[in-house]
Amino acid sequence: MKISTRVEYGIIALADIAMYGADGKTVSSSDISERQDISQKYLEQIIISLRQGGFVKGQKGSRGGYLLSRPADKIYLSEILNALDNSILADTVEDTPENQAGMRSSVNCCLWDKINSYMRSFAEQMTLADLIAEYRSGGGDDNENMYYI
């Protein structure tokens, strides 16, 4: 499965805002950009989508930045994915006459539909808070499973 950088960076930005804005402080896009090594221009475009999706709210002024619009445990991964790219959790294959016959139908029904269903179910149960907890417990450490020779 291919996930666009837009989706990946959007999830990262939300997690960053949730972690660094947990005590009610706003988080600036420049701080997110620096911490997460994301182009600030690109990040600002993504944040517009996150605002439109109702995940963040902006605050202007000298202490301006972004806050989550609701608690991280009330933001589900499925909502984020659908806001940033509604094709990820969409049905994989349309039911057309040529897709309803023979082996193609079996593959679609027994494989792709089930994989998509599992993915959708997983995304509907996992919250932004769960993702952050996994990161904090060490599950998000990229070097954990790295082997050096």
Say which DSSP state 99 is in.
Answer: G
Computed over every residue of the chain, the mean pLDDT equals: 85
| pLDDT higher than 70, residue 70 | yes
Per-domain residue ranges of the chain: 5-89+128-139
Mean pLDDT in residue range 12-37: 93
What is the per-residue pLDDT for 142? 54
Place of tokens 């040529």: 98
Which residue, 108, 119, 39, is CA-closest to 82?
119
pTM of this structure: 0.80
Segment 125-136, tens digit of pLDDT: 999 999 999 999
Q: Please give the C-alpha separations between residue 131 and each of 4, 10, 11, 112, in angstroms, as whole numbers.
A: 18, 13, 9, 25
Q: Which fold has domain 5-89+128-139?
A: Arc Repressor Mutant, subunit A (1.10.10)
